[in-house]
Amino acid sequence: MHYVKELTVPAGTASGSPASTDVTLAAGILRSVKILFPSGCARLVFVVIYNGATQIYPKGPATSYAEDAKEIAINTFDIFDSAPTLTLRGWAPSTNYAHKITFTFELQTVEETAMQRSGYY
């Protein structure tokens, strides 16, 4: 199952009050996360992903992702027993324009896992 969510980070957004949006996934195994930074971000737009109060991507609390015209692909194997609501946060204190960052999540649901184990695919 794929989920796509966009986060618009307004120009001049401070790290202390980041732009944010939530995405609720199904229970299952998170297989990959992709973060697309469009051209023009110039590594001045920073993003992180939280699950509750814990930053899960990137793994370190004092780290963030920042790129320009590049997609970051994260291969993962995070298991969620219940449907998580992830919070996407972004800031861009040195920018003059808003930027739209696209997040894509690939998740194998509990049902898909059961079908795979049963030999359906």
Q: What is the pTM of this model?
A: 0.92
Domains in the chain (CATH in brackets) are 2-117 (2.60.120.380)
Q: What is the pLDDT of residues 59-86, one digit of tens each?
A: 987 899 999 999 999 999 999 999 999 9
In the block, tokens 């079908």 appear at 115
- For 1-121, strand residue ranges (E) read 2-9, 19-24, 28-37, 46-51, 54-57, 70-80, 85-91, 99-109
Instruction: Give the mean pLDDT of the chain.
Output: 94
Q: What is the pLDDT of residues 81-98, one digit of tens each?
A: 999 999 999 999 999 999
